[in-house]
Chains A and B, each alone.
Chain A
């Protein structure tokens, strides 16, 4: 048993290493383009809602806390607390996904989804109609912001920067999308763990699955801790 536990924990760490390499490839490309299109990265970052991002960060940190409590409860053999904390983690995870859905919908409305397959064609410089209003005009926002900080830019520059935010949003959706995909899988795993916990399968002698589930969940959380500043906090000087 000891050997099996040691083996499976080791195996989970190796698996998380592969996940790190996968996200790593994505992060590396993000960095390369950020260096190339810094102004567009700034403009794109300002156009996603940092409030939701921050709330989501708190939500995920909270969920890691409840997950850790679930592992502790499993180790103690306290069935009720295990189920409670696991369900709590799932609720927080679902909340995270819900908020992500709100954010994605906002981007959809503002014509900020890259390409032209989903929703309306990408358009960040005026002309995106939603509910009779023009929204998502990054060019205008960028110009206004630059004027505020006494570094005015002409319209052509703002438009070009806005056009280049398409790549920023490509990475935004790819990175948060891959992360959300992992969260959905995580929710599935948590559901399965909750079921087993409710049957009293875990105790001080055997709580390995909960521990491994915890490792996975913490990993997904840590990826978000990196995603949040890289996407939401690029030289923000305003809300």
Chain B
């Protein structure tokens, strides 16, 4: 048996130190108050122990003391809350330029895909010094993606994407655990995050056999499933064009405005009639059961790719549903206009 008695996991991400500092503060606080109570108790049971000549003094209470020992814990709690909330906000919001990796969890393994198409099973190679955003989904039950060395964790759900992010700061191999009980081999659903220097990571990427980048595989699926039949940039197309769509606001037929993110794209493929783009008919069939989770991820990558390519302004109105920044209504305009306008017709009836 190894005789190691570690107290902290290694600090391998940019936030690990911050989380540990916060944790240490809480440990000190807990130790202080526990010792305070414990020592007071010991002191009282000795000093005020029962003796024949000694009578207890009947004290009702002290409102002042009650207020003090309510206010102080409340104040300390608020400090803890704010510190924790700030840290949490940082942990939940990946930077915009993060390296995007997709992961699929299933009983009882992890499958990862790098943007260049490289796949891994139960291992995840990442470079140091760059934020990495991992978008995850499950093929069956709820799992959880947990890397103690990075101090990050997220549940992995079967019906929508979740994401987490981290910036690795130290090379090494770190544990990846599934930490939401998922059945028989839950304790076996573990893996390794391999953090490498950026040069080594590039080399590793190049050496792997990728069948093409995720985006190119997504493009193949896009054509195979016949998406191009309707989703074209020309004016008579039956479906909205997807150029420049990803990450932009979209106006729906009920006048709501939503952001076209991963979950929106996934829902549009699996449950197309939940949200209809303004000016289009609800004719898209569902691909539930037809396309796999990996396929969905690849198609999403392809659609993201379309946005990056299409850097020209939208003045040619090839995609009227995607709003220019100036067209995104302010909150006040939204509230005023709500319920007053019918769905905008645009002569696109089949």
Interface residues of A (CB under 8 A from B): 36, 39, 153-154, 156-157, 160-161
Contacts and interface: CB of A to CB of B under 8 A. Distances in A.
Interface in B261-304: 271-274, 281-286
A156 B350 CA distance: 15
Nearest to A161: B273
Given A39-B273, A160-B271, A161-B273, A154 B286 contact: no
18 contacts: A36-B274, A153-B282, A154-B281, A154-B282, A154-B283, A156-B273, A156-B282, A156-B283, A156-B284, A156-B285, A156-B286, A157-B273, A157-B282, A157-B283, A160-B272, A160-B273, A160-B286, A161-B273
A36, A39, A156, A161, most chain B CB atoms within 10 A: A156
A156 B273 CA distance: 9
Interface string B119-151: 000000000000000000000000000000000
B270 to A, nearest CB: 10
A157 B350 CA distance: 15
Contacts of B271: 160
Nearest to A152: B281
A39, A153, A157, A161, most chain B CB atoms within 10 A: A157
A141 B120 CA distance: 48
A160 B274 CA distance: 10
Contacts of B273: 39, 156-157, 160-161
A156 B238 CA distance: 14
A50 to B, nearest CB: 25
A186 B286 CA distance: 46
B349 to A, nearest CB: 10
A160 B286 CA distance: 8
Nearest to B350: A154
Contacts, number: 20
A153 B349 CA distance: 11
Contacts of A154: 281-283
B262 to A, nearest CB: 19
A80 B308 CA distance: 85
B344 to A, nearest CB: 15
Contacts of B274: 36
Contacts of B285: 156
A161 B271 CA distance: 10
Contacts of B286: 156, 160
Contacts of A157: 273, 282-283
Contacts of B283: 154, 156-157
A156 B285 CA distance: 5
A160 B270 CA distance: 10
B30 to A, nearest CB: 36
A157 B271 CA distance: 10
Closest 3 A/B residue pairs (Cβ): A156-B285, A154-B283, A157-B282
Contacts of A153: 282
A157 B282 CA distance: 6
Nearest to B282: A157
Nearest to B285: A156
Given A156-B273, A156-B286, A157-B283, 8 more contacts: A36-B274, A153-B282, A154-B281, A156-B283, A156-B285, A157-B282, A160-B271, A160-B286
Contacts of A160: 271-273, 286
A122 B345 CA distance: 37
B255 to A, nearest CB: 15
Contacts of B281: 154
A39 B272 CA distance: 13
A22 to B, nearest CB: 26
A227 B64 CA distance: 52
A167 to B, nearest CB: 13
Contacts of A161: 273
A186 B284 CA distance: 49
A150 to B, nearest CB: 12
A36 B273 CA distance: 11
A40 to B, nearest CB: 10
B150 to A, nearest CB: 34
A153 B272 CA distance: 13
Contacts of B282: 153-154, 156-157
A153 B283 CA distance: 8
B273, B281, B283, B285, most chain A CB atoms within 10 A: B273
A157 B276 CA distance: 11
A92 to B, nearest CB: 43
B348 to A, nearest CB: 14
A109 B271 CA distance: 28
A118 B281 CA distance: 37
B125 to A, nearest CB: 38
Interface in B246-261: none
Contacts of B284: 156
Contacts of A39: 273
A161 B283 CA distance: 12
Nearest to A156: B285
A87 to B, nearest CB: 51
Nearest to A39: B273
